[in-house]
Amino acid sequence: MKPKPIKKIVLAYSGGLDTSVILRWLQETYQAEIIAFCADLGQGEDLKAVKAKAQSLGVKKVYVEDLRETFVKDYVFPMLRGNAMYEGCYLLGTSIARPLIARRQAEIALKEGAEAVSHGATGKGNDQVRFELTYMALAPNLKIIAPWREWTMRSRRELIEYAERHEIPVTATKAKPYSTDPNLFHISYEGGILEDPWESPPDEIFQLTVSPEKAPDKPREVEIEYQGGNPIAVDGKKMSPATLLAHLNTLGGAHGIGRVDLVENRYVGMKSRGVYETPGGTILHVAHRGLESLTMDREVLHFRDSLIPRFADLIYNGYWFSPEREMIQTAIDQAQKDVNGTARVKLYKGSCTLAGRKSTQSLYRLDIATFEEDDVYNQKDAEGFIRLNALRLKIRAQRKKAPRR
């Protein structure tokens, strides 16, 4: 069957080096109409300027959509309800943004009657997987164009040279080629000097947080109210999801909260170094776990915790729209029904620690847990409990001592 000619392509466009070069390359290579889509996920950029830049490169139709509330409410918060953390420290800020961008991009492609979608992810990274798994899950008939896997350019330095030749304005330079990926949840940094795992990240790259050494000498305590596992208020003030996260980013950033330097295992098989800032997300992670310790049944908590590595892997690897992620999410959300109350955290020079927690649905019973005299717990009951649990250990010890025949 003859392939369908490509007349329209929807490009996930950020206005940065990669996608600006890709836009021009698609025009030259496919001679098709390019529709640019830019999602506002709170990256703090002048999106009017991004739109104008795309138009200056010959794009007639540019979608710029404010998806901040959707991003936090429908993607970040469900992830935080499950305490997802990849390899012990990465809160998945880049990973969780890709499914939303790709989903909306695919919807626009179907609406516009486009035959293809395109993205700026390299052939070495995880983002190509995240974008394309989403396209295939939601719009399997769209053709996918991944320029980094098609063109002859092999480095960002070559892209910078291409941009210079074609008079495409970009902020990256040959002397400072590391890339950043900001959204309302975090900022990631990679490339350049960061490719040497021994080199410390230069302090000037950080945008959301002050250096912990330069943070205030006085700690700051913050109270976060939760309902059904979701944060709904900070210090008694109700806020929308995006507003709440932005507010905590400001508070956490001022105290140097949320910096992570990780050599991670990419899904495509290699190790890669990433540096991340996630101030608000770090605060919410600590506060949420603190409140859960008060309100969740022990076995439910432990079972949910057993799901976290798999849940985090699915998000990191791009399987947000998979049936297994949805199944785990259902179990997680069922466990969050009683996670209601308030957690208090202390912010101080890069650390975020739990300072207190309270809930009307607390399972903590002072009359049972107290070391003082009580009338509700018979300590003698513990003896039989211990003996029953030790029975197999005693049998094993006796077997070792028994003479062999």
CATH for 155 = 3.40.50.620
pLDDT at residue 358 is higher than 90: yes
Is residue 293 located within the same domain as residue 351?
yes
Q: Answer whether residue 88 is part of any domain.
A: no
User: Do residues 45 and 149 both lie within one domain?
Assistant: yes
Mean pLDDT score of the chain? 94
404 is a domain residue: no
Say whether both 149 and 268 belong to one domain. no
Residue 1 has pLDDT above 60, yes or no: no
Select from 128, 151, 176 the last residue of a domain.
176
| C-alpha–C-alpha distance, residues 372 and 369, integer Å | 9
CB 248 within 8 A of CB 285: no
Same domain membership, residue 23 and residue 51: yes
261 and 142 share a domain? no
The pLDDT value recorded for residue 173 is 61
> Domain ends where: 122, 150, 176?
176
Q: Domain range for residue 43? A: 8-68+95-176
Q: Is residue 393 part of a domain?
A: yes
pLDDT at 80 over 80: yes
pTM of structure: 0.94
- The span from the CA of 293 to the CA of 301, in Å, is 8
Residue 77 lies in a domain: no
337 and 195 in one domain?
A: yes
pLDDT of residue 3: 67
CATH number at residue 301: 3.90.1260.10
Question: pLDDT band for position 373 (50/70/90)?
Answer: confident
- On whether both 306 and 390 belong to a single domain, the answer is no
Whether residue 84 lies inside any domain: the answer is no
Q: Are residues 204 and 318 in the same domain?
A: yes
pLDDT of 405 reads 67
**Looking at the annotation, which residues are catalytic?**
18, 98, 127, 179
Residue 229 φ then ψ, to 5°: 85, -5
On whether both 193 and 310 belong to a single domain, the answer is yes
Total domains present in the chain: 3
The answer to whether residues 188 and 314 belong to one domain is: yes
| Whether residue 46 is found in the same domain as residue 114 | yes
Q: Which pLDDT band, with edges at 50, 70 and 90, does 247 fall under?
A: very high
Span 331-352, mean pLDDT? 98
Question: Is residue 209 assigned to a domain?
Answer: yes
Q: What is the DSSP letter of 203?
A: G
Is residue 1 included in any domain, yes or no? no
| 90 within some domain | no
At residue 369, the pLDDT reads: 85
Query: Given 176, 205, 224, which residue is the final one in a domain?
Result: 176
Please provide the distance, in angstroms rounded to a whole number, between the alpha carbons at the two ends of the chain.
Answer: 76
pLDDT at 313 (0 to 100): 98
> CA angle at residue 298 from 296 to 302, to 5 degrees?
100
* CA dihedral sign, ordered 163, 164, 170, 171: positive
Say yes or no: 126 and 207 in one domain. no
